């Protein structure tokens, strides 16, 4: 056999081996083209009930939003969140307290909390009014109390004092008025501060009946559902039979659920239980777990739709930030450290400018139009979400409860901004009788920005999982 004949035989053998690998879907050159083409998390096309597409959001978030939001959330104003983790479950006996050590939450000691966060700032000195308005208002009050020419001396001066009992009654009235616009239940006690950076959201091992009961109750009892839909998740083929408002509610909850699952998969406890040979106490991405939670084969074909709902929820919260931007740009972000507070204001205004530049925001104005029936649906929408906020007190894992309450609180704040009507027109004057229209508590702002940050990180992590699959 000469050298030329031997070379031809080797070439044919090489082609045969290569053809065999391609036919069985092998990975001869270190890639798997079939798997890459059919990657369930390689989403394309438009986002349901929105005008923009997946690629637009991916680029906008990963290039422009994600780096900014990550640097913002490490600042003191946003890293400390006040929460009550001891609130009793209002729906069933709390018999599912998680004993796993990773479920534990480490609360802040008094010395850890910035000085400016320790005291409550009264509503009447909220910093969304300009200093000029404040001084003008104060001077008017002074003139009113001490100028004798405005009063009949024989009748005496008007009694301008208000008893402490009346103030308490006014506060109850105010709380009642505010409650009519809130999408989350107000906690009965203030709770305690938690440093979110020291208690990151990640997989803790909390699962089984208790965790499933939470999500089953949310979907089956509190989400709008089409008739004859016995499954916990609504099939995408049945979504078109629902009105826009009910579809939005389901997609918002589904998108939040998808986001939380991605967080758990990207910061999974790597060890014997995950099948990965990593020493204990290390968290990292678990691609197998992501595939189990979202691949079409394990989800009846619905996993990619759940991931699309993540993008929908992201766009809804993005729109809420844009709508509240005139208000948020005037917030002081006060912690007591003047230099850090100024940096936080600059960083917040920077990200708000980027948010406002997005060309295809979610359009909330097409919802709840149509008179009395639409308003009844809007109230039902609000009550359903309030109920979901109550369910968060039934979560058995404290760390899961912390992040569940925070993200529901943030999403509820976004819904309040979009649908309460109080942010539709902004008038930054203290003398305006409707000043309270634009009031957000500090906890609402912290929850709103942190919840958006979790959605932003989910979209960023999803892209990292795509690269891992390739």
Mean pLDDT per block of 10 residues along the chain (470 residues) reads: 50 47 35 43 70 88 97 97 91 74 88 84 44 38 41 47 59 57 81 94 88 93 84 85 92 96 93 52 89 93 93 96 94 94 97 95 91 93 95 93 96 95 71 56 96 98 91
Q: Where are the alpha helices (DSSP H) in 124-188?
A: 131-146, 164-179
Confirm whether 424 is domain-assigned: yes
Q: Is 390 annotated as a binding residue?
A: no
Confirm whether 198 is domain-assigned: no
Q: What are the DSSP calls for 28-65, one per residue?
A: TTS--HHHHHT-TT---SBPTTSSSBHHHHHHIIIIII
Task: Provide the angle, in degrees to the nearest 10, between the axes of the packed helices 244-266 and 398-419.
Answer: 150
Q: Is 204 annotated as a binding residue?
A: yes
Confirm whether 190 is domain-assigned: no
Q: Which helix (H) or strand (E) holds 321?
A: helix 303-323
pLDDT tens for each residue of 274-318 = 454 445 568 899 999 999 999 999 999 999 999 999 999 999 999
Confirm whether 367 is domain-assigned: yes
d(CA 430, CA 128): 9
Confirm whether 118 is domain-assigned: no
Confirm whether 267 is domain-assigned: yes
Q: Is 464 annotated as a binding residue?
A: no
Q: Is 293 annotated as a binding residue?
A: yes
Q: Which CA distances in Å does 387 have to 52, 110, 313, 383?
A: 31, 32, 19, 6
What sign does the dihedral 139-145-151-153 (CA atoms) show? negative
Q: What are the DSSP calls for 56-125, one per residue?
A: HHHHIIIIIIHHHHHHHHTSHHHHEEEE-S-PPPSSS--------GGG---BPPGGGS-HHHHSPPPGGG
Give me the domain span that covers residue 358: 37-106+129-181+203-272+281-469
Q: What are the DSSP calls for 383-398, one per residue?
A: HHHHHHHHHGGG-SSH
pLDDT tens for each residue of 106-128 = 889 888 999 999 865 544 344 44
> What is the structure's pLDDT at 24?
36
Number of domains in the chain: 1
Q: Is 210 annotated as a binding residue?
A: no
User: What positions carry a catalytic annotation?
Assistant: 397, 400
Q: Which of 72, 71, 65, 78 is nearest to 459 (CA)?
A: 65
Confirm whether 429 is domain-assigned: yes
Could you tell me how many residues make up the chain?
Answer: 470
> What is the structure's pLDDT at 371?
87
> What is the structure's pLDDT at 169?
58
> What is the structure's pLDDT at 236?
83
What sign does the dihedral 163-165-169-170 (CA atoms) show? positive
Q: Do residues 313 and 251 make contact, with C-beta atoms less than 8 angstroms apart?
A: yes
Q: Is 254 annotated as a binding residue?
A: yes
Confirm whether 16 is domain-assigned: no
């Amino acid at each position: 056999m000469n050298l030329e004949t031997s070379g031809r035989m080797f070439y044919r053998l090489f082609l045969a081996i290569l053809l065999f690998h391609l036919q069985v879907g092998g990975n001869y050159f270190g890639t798997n083209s079939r798997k890459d083409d059919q990657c369930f998390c390689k989403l394309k096309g438009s986002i349901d009930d929105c005008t923009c597409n997946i690629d637009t959001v991916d680029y906008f978030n990963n290039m422009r939003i994600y780096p900014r939001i990550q640097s913002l959330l490490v600042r003191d104003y946003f890293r400390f969140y006040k929460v009550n983790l001891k609130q009793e479950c209002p729906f069933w006996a709390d018999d599912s307290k998680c004993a796993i050590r990773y479920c534990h939450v480490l609360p802040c000691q008094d010395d850890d909390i910035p000085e400016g966060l320790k005291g409550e700032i009264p509503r009447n000195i909220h910093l969304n009014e300009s200093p000029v308005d404040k001084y003008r208002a104060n001077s008017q009050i002074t003139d009113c109390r001490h100028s004798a020419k405005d009063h009949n001396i024989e009748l005496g001066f008007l009694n301008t004092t208000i008893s402490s009992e009346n103030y308490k009654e006014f506060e109850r009235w105010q709380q009642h008025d505010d409650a009519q616009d809130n999408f989350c239940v107000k906690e009965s006690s203030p709770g305690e501060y938690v440093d979110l950076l020291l208690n990151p959201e990640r997989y803790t091992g909390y699962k089984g009946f208790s965790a499933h009961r939470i999500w089953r109750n949310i979907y089956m009892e509190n989400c709008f559902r089409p008739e004859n839909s016995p499954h916990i998740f609504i099939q995408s083929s049945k979504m078109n039979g629902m009105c826009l408002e009910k579809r939005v509610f389901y997609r918002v909850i589904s998108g939040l659920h998808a986001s939380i699952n991605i967080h758990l998969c990207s910061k999974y406890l790597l060890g014997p239980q995950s099948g990965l040979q990593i020493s204990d106490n290390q968290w990292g991405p678990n691609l197998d777990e992501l595939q189990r939670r979202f691949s079409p084969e394990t989800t009846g074909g619905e996993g990619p739709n759940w991931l699309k709902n993540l993008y929908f929820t992201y766009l809804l919260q993005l729109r809420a930030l844009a709508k509240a931007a005139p208000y948020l740009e005037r917030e002081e972000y006060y912690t007591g450290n003047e230099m850090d507070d100024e940096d936080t204001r600059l960083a917040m205004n920077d990200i708000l400018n980027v948010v406002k530049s997005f060309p295809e925001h979610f359009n909330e104005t097409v919802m709840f139009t149509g008179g009395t029936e639409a308003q009844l649906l809007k109230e039902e929408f609000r009550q359903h979400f309030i109920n979901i906020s109550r369910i968060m007190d039934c979560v058995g894992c404290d760390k899961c409860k912390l992040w569940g309450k925070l993200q529901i609180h943030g999403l509820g704040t976004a819904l309040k901004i979009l649908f309460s009507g109080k942010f539709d027109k902004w008038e930054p004057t203290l003398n305006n009788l409707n000043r309270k229209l634009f009031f957000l508590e500090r906890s609402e702002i912290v929850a709103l920005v942190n919840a958006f940050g979790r959605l932003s990180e989910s979209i960023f992590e999803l892209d990292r999982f795509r690269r891992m699959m390739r």
